[in-house]
Amino acid sequence: MADEGQQQVDKAGRQIFKVPKEKLLEFMRARKDEGFNHLSLITGVDRKDHIEVVYHLHSVEQDRYIVVKTTTNNCTVPSVTSLWRSANWDEREQWDLMGIKFEGHPNLKRMFLPESWVGHPLRKDYDLGNVQYINMDEDGEDYSTFDPGDGW
């Protein structure tokens, strides 16, 4: 395993692998074959000039836990939904709040915010001054608006 990716150890003693995003799918498939059957979380870090995507993998049988990191300059990384089904919602959440596009995701829609929300709020360059509101239409569907208007 050590031959692929750059390797470090974090404070909790977990191995960290830094993998270029071109090799991510291949690397992840190898990890899954090794027995990492639980993708415990996907998260994103905004480093201002690039985005870091972090995957935590857990092997239930072997009681092992590793961290895989990859970076992207254009906010796209390959989706791992084909390997772990649980990646589906995790990736949608990252798309919603961090604006990371996962190529090959079957249904990359916003997870929490309405589709019409402008921007991705956990990004460093998100404009908090431009307040958005959410209203509900007749069918109970949410829509976002910049104008407080009715109901506010």
Q: Where do contacts with another protein occur on this chain (CB under 8 A)? A: 112-113, 121, 126, 128, 132-136, 142, 148, 151-152
- Rounded Cα distance, 30 and 19, in Å: 13
> Which pair of structure tokens corresponds to residue 106?
């079957």
Min dist CB 112 to another protein, Å, is: 7
Closer of 3 and 152 to another protein (Cβ): 152
Min dist CB 113 to another protein, Å, is: 8
- Rounded Cα distance, 66 and 48, in Å: 25
Min dist CB 114 to another protein, Å, is: 8
Closer of 45 and 118 to another protein (Cβ): 118
Closer of 21 and 121 to another protein (Cβ): 121
Closer of 32 and 119 to another protein (Cβ): 119
Min dist CB 145 to another protein, Å, is: 11
Taking alpha carbons only, the member of 94, 91, 97 closest to residue 126 is 97
CB atoms within 10 A of CB 89: 13
- Rounded Cα distance, 141 and 35, in Å: 41
Min dist CB 40 to another protein, Å, is: 25
CB atoms within 10 A of CB 96: 20
- Rounded Cα distance, 98 and 76, in Å: 11
Closer of 101 and 123 to another protein (Cβ): 123
